[in-house]
Structure 1
Amino acid sequence: MNMKSVIRSRPGRLIAAVVLAVTVVTPVVVTGPASAATTLTVAQALAAQDGRTAAVTGYVIGQPTSTTTVLTANYTADTAIAIADTATETSTARMLYVQVTTAWRADFGLLTNPSLRGRQITATGTLTAYFSHGGLKSPTAMTFGGGSTPSPTASPTASPTVSPTGGPYDSTYYASAVGRTGPALRSSLHAIIRVQTVLTYDQVWEALKDTDQDPANPANVILLYTGRSQSKTSNGGGVDDWNREHVWAKSHGDFGTANGPGTDVHHLRPEDVSVNSLRGNKDFDSGGSAVAEAPGCYTDADSFEPRNAVKGDVARMILYMAIRYEGDDGWPNLEPNDSVTNGTAPYLGRISKLLAWNELDPPDAFEQRRNQRIYERWQGNRNPFVDHPEWARAIWG
């Protein structure tokens, strides 16, 4: 039985701990409402629940679900996080509950980003009760690390944009690639992402049920081209079943379903059997006739155009394959080009369209969660173009 890890405080202990925190913490002296530039510790924020605006720095502990309960695994939503002054804190009395509004959920929601636990963040917002507990609500800025609090580029209700020069894995996973461009960047990324767990083709079924899970219905997956939510158990070869679509068509390089490129979940997606067959091994381009079962998709004799919502997803999967499979490890050297007549050669086009789609449709929460899931649970490697879309132009631009 999979039990959720929780932290609970008894009411009496909670009251005592809060009183203690209030009496021993260094007082914050203000002459009026604190400015957003004021950076507080969690203990200071808990002692200043008076509606002021302040920035608070702390370590992510988990997802609060009640006054005295914080989940530290098996998260259920992206709407709130609990932070503390130490990453090992276990008492909810010493945690600040931070509301995560829509603008920040893609980067700071624990359901989407379970690896956020233990990381230091700074959040700016209103210090007021949340879950009947010391809290920070209506955030106007959230950032990784301490001390700086950039705002969203548009407004607090717009999706935050990821800086092209920073990311949560830059100092660790991508350390050898950051700051490079062109062939040097390509070489560094290949060396990083080629370290992976290789799945079997049977394992891909279970991986896709996890990576492509419908966020609104955990019993379903979302099909790539159709956008349809469909039962995880309806996988197979029937007309209305879903099967494993190779976004980099497996005949382009003739790698089939062999362990390696043929089983790499970074480019395998659930898709309706009929639509998968219709796409076949066509290159990607714009135009053609509408695909009846996949609204927004088009196809002609030699190319396939995916719906707008996943154009960037398709581009980043193709670019990943080109960097991951460079002709070593006994696998083909895959490369995008600007042709739609590639046949069985290890090429896939059109690169000009893919680069444009990468910019037209930036990574969303679903794609970011998928990348994280593959990294944490299945292959141990990441798609660098989901983390850094700007690297596509740095290599092919």
Structure 2
Amino acid sequence: MKKRNNNKLFLAGIFIALVFSIGAGISFIKLRSPAETLGERVGPRGKLPSKINISDLDDDEVNSYYAGVDGLFGDDLKETLNDIIKDHHEYDYNSASDRTAYKIMDRNWDFSPASEIDLEDYDYENDNPYIRKLYADYNNDIETADRFKNEGASRVSFDKEHIWAQSLGAFGRRYGGGSDFHHLLPSDVKGNQAFHSNYNFGEPDTNTKQYLNDYDTPVGINGYVEAFTEEGLGEKVCEPLDEYKGDIARAMLYMPIRYNVHLNEDHPHLELVNGSPAARPSTTEQSGLAGDLATLLKWHVEDPVDYYEIHRNNLIYNNFQLNRNPFIDYPEWAEMIYDPNYNGPGASTAPGMSTAVGDPGVLVESITLNKTVHSMDKGHEYTLSATILPTNAEFKALSWSSSNTNVATVSNGRVSSLAYGTTTITATATDDSGRSATCEITVEAQFEKEVDRLEVVNFQKNISFGKIYPKESLTVYLYFEDESYDDVTSEVKVSLPNTHLLGEQVVNVQYSTYSATYEVFVTNDDALLSYSEEGLWYESPVAVDGVIEGWNNIGTGSYPAGDIKLEKTGNYVYKTDIWDETASQNITEMDVIVMIKYNTGGTSTENKLTVDLLNGSLGSIVATEHKVALKKTSFTEETYSFSFETPKTITGIKFTYTNKGGGNYALRYVLAKPTYQHADYLPQAEAWATYFLNKTSDQCEALEPQREEDWIILGGEFNLMHSTSKAFYTGSNNSELVLAAIDRYNAIIRAHPENEPFIAGLENVQINVLPKILNNNIIIILTIILLLSSTIISLYVLETYRKTKKYEIK
């Protein structure tokens, strides 16, 4: 215990020292005057400057950089911005030395402050700071945050994430688009490899799946957008958490501005489009496409620029590439490029107020909105404008939010009403001032006739335990006094029943200020007792000398870099024992990712790589999926997704070169993750116990037998339970709810013979002394009674003894 206390004192000391060092670092940064130069200007091949400039440009400097854009919209603005940002220094994606630039660009300045390093002669090789990563909600906790390379690790702690996936243009990564720091962010490894992979960005609504990061916390979902599929642009998309959306959108918006003409393999022609287009290479005749443009523009305004992005933009400009991301400096330019009719806030390219910092240390003192209350009808838009004082505040960017996004959303001050109700729109300063301003928005329904009532005219009356209640089964009418009605089903809010509770439930339906109720019965008939659980990722070793350790190769060769060479039809690699007996069972989904490169052959040559899921041996194939690959100039993580209606046993994986049109595959490593189906029966047993105790309580308090109709329903629901759930009532268990139900059940059938038994095996069983669920209260009461009794008896004995002694003395 003493050692543990010493450890606590030691950790407390470290924490205090850290707080002081962070404070010193922040003071050091704020006291530094803006640098006279914009970093060491080196040649076209980017180098690592020894002198680091960590200052941020002010409004005048930013406006000077973008001189010449005044009055431009659409393609004219796009082409002019390209002329401004295109002549930058270029770095090598594959260079371990160039990778150390992230120690400055994405440094966690809170945990690794500037005071720890020499900015005049920076040591790229030996400095090992904490860094900020994409898809990493653990960045802000020093206990979980990663350093550039964690102690004892064989590699750096992050992947260099191509926000614009390389396959969406098939460009190289030596220089240019594949190594551009403005879209090449350090990221959580699983977040990059499993979640984003090479998918477009969007908001999926079908076949969605959630993904986790290295610390097993969510990073987002991917799946398909039904509308895109109908339009023929239905490739898989991924949707990150809200906190990453704006950063990703601005990186994606930057790429087609910078790379708007095909020069060579490293400098592609890129284009953002609506939908989720299939990957295609950039050539002199066609552009590489990515999407979804509409979603990215939406994310761009919903997750506004923050200081981390502003400072990173300046660090890249001052020290490395010497160019800027225009959409971080002037967010409104995105809509001015893609919507020439845009006339919202900031619809001017004249020199003015950017998101660049003002005078160092000056905080926002006040924010004033043009309205504090506003009423509007559903389906309309209204733009709030803000006045920020003082005008030289260091950070003038605002964060906009709505207290009820179901009623109305807000993007950069533009309010869009979605449903009837009230919401508060808040504009908040992004500095440390804490200043904000609000406007109350009321979305009101407008009717030409007097409303009489809201009525649910059709609904599903029963729902099985554990299943999702089908909201689409409802039909809701709004009746007027003349008995005419409107069908408002699609616009109502419904509080769906909790299907993990048995019995009758009253459900509320709301439309504007009108409400109605209906009753649903949750039954054990056809109950759903299973649930899904994502397993751990299997990560194979990287291939060495043409072999992945633990895997078997048939007919394969080796590349000089060590990758497996699949060069003939029928070549294959496999491993039959990835998952042991326990981990291989009850699998309903499997994601397999292979790092693959198709090296040679014509750009239109088709080659097929097949993945087989195995059960114990090569001859026992559970499922198969094929993919046709075109020539690629760099390694790409190809994802194969499997799903099964009934659980499968899977122990291994096999990759086969099944159709060779020309050229060879290079295979580097394999990742795989199963999803399991499990069953849990105790919740059903406890749900019946709760239903039984609630249903029988009134009659028990009145010391009367249970009503016949109630007793029949209770017996019917018990008999509909799964046999394993029933066994909790006749075997040994530790569920207090079940024990309480057993005791009451036995008490009822003993006291009231008219309530006939329906739980086989419990007839004539001795009643437990007290339900455990009540034991604590009863024990407390009994203890108090015993204490009072013993006290009274003791006082009586003492008084008797005193009187006896007194009598003896006399």
| TM tier relative to shorter chain | 0.5 to 0.7
Determine whether 1:197 maps to 2:89.
Answer: yes
Structure 2 match to 1:139: none
1:82-161 matched pairs, under 5 angstroms = 114-116=55-57
**Deviations 1:112-131, CA, capped at 9 Å, x for gaps:** 96145xxxxxxxxxxxxxxx
1:1-397 matched pairs, under 5 angstroms = 76-77=26-27, 80=30, 114-116=55-57, 167-201=59-93, 202=95, 203-218=97-112, 219-229=129-139, 230-234=146-150, 241-278=157-194, 279-287=196-204, 288-293=208-213, 294-300=217-223, 302-330=236-264, 331-345=267-281, 346-397=288-339
Backbone CA RMSD of aligned residues: 3.0
Structure 2 match to 1:22: none
Deviation at 1:396, TM superposition (A): 1.0
**Following the alignment from structure 2 to structure 1, what is the Cα–Cα distance between the partners of residues 157 and 84?**
36
Distance 1:187 1:240, change over 3 A: closer
Output the amino acid matched with 2:246: G
**Deviations 1:22-81, CA, capped at 9 Å, x for gaps:** xxxxxxxxxxxxxxxxxxxxxxxxxxxxxxxxxxxxxxxxxxxxxxxxxxxx97448855
Deviation at 1:243, TM superposition (A): 1.4
Instruction: List alignment gaps of at least 5 residues for structure 2.
Output: 1-23, 37-51, 113-128, 140-145, 225-235, 282-287, 340-810
**Following the alignment from structure 1 to structure 2, what is the Cα–Cα distance between the partners of residues 268 and 237?**
22
Instruction: List alignment gaps of at least 5 residues for structure 1.
Output: 1-73, 88-110, 117-143, 145-166
**Following the alignment from structure 1 to structure 2, what is the Cα–Cα distance between the partners of residues 386 and 182?**
18
Instruction: State the structure with more CA Rg.
Output: 2
Output the amino acid matched with 1:300: G
Deviation at 1:363, TM superposition (A): 0.8
Q: Is the 8 A contact 1:235 1:241 kept in 2?
A: no
Greater shift after overlay, 237-246 or 248-257? 237-246
Output the amino acid matched with 1:336: L
Secondary structure, in 3 states, of the residue corresponding to 1:213? coil
Q: Which has the higher contact order (CA 8 A, sep 6+)?
A: 1
Deviation at 1:195, TM superposition (A): 1.0
Distance 1:238 1:303, change over 3 A: farther
Fraction of identical pairs, as percent: 31
Q: Is the 8 A contact 1:78 1:112 kept in 2?
A: no
**Following the alignment from structure 1 to structure 2, what is the Cα–Cα distance between the partners of residues 284 and 236?**
35
**Following the alignment from structure 1 to structure 2, what is the Cα–Cα distance between the partners of residues 237 and 333?**
38
Deviation at 1:255, TM superposition (A): 1.0
Q: Is the 8 A contact 1:182 1:394 kept in 2?
A: yes
Deviation at 1:216, TM superposition (A): 1.9
**Following the alignment from structure 1 to structure 2, what is the Cα–Cα distance between the partners of residues 298 and 239?**
27
Output the amino acid matched with 2:289: Y
Deviation at 1:170, TM superposition (A): 4.5
Output the amino acid matched with 1:195: D
Structure 2 match to 1:102: none
Deviation at 1:315, TM superposition (A): 0.5
Normalising by structure 1, we get a TM-score of 0.57
Distance 1:321 1:236, change over 3 A: farther
Deviation at 1:172, TM superposition (A): 1.5
Distance 1:173 1:197, change over 3 A: same
**Following the alignment from structure 2 to structure 1, what is the Cα–Cα distance between the partners of residues 98 and 329?**
23
Distance 1:263 1:239, change over 3 A: closer
**Following the alignment from structure 1 to structure 2, what is the Cα–Cα distance between the partners of residues 315 and 205?**
23
Structure 2 match to 1:4: none
**Following the alignment from structure 2 to structure 1, what is the Cα–Cα distance between the partners of residues 177 and 271?**
13
**Following the alignment from structure 1 to structure 2, what is the Cα–Cα distance between the partners of residues 82 and 277?**
40
**Following the alignment from structure 1 to structure 2, what is the Cα–Cα distance between the partners of residues 292 and 262?**
26
Distance 1:234 1:388, change over 3 A: same
Distance 1:390 1:347, change over 3 A: same
Output the amino acid matched with 2:192: N
Q: Is the 8 A contact 2:191 2:212 kept in 1?
A: no
Aligned length: 250
Structure 1 match to 2:493: none
Output the amino acid matched with 1:179: G
Q: Is the 8 A contact 2:158 2:189 kept in 1?
A: yes
Distance 1:220 1:332, change over 3 A: same
Distance 1:222 1:235, change over 3 A: farther
Output the amino acid matched with 1:114: S
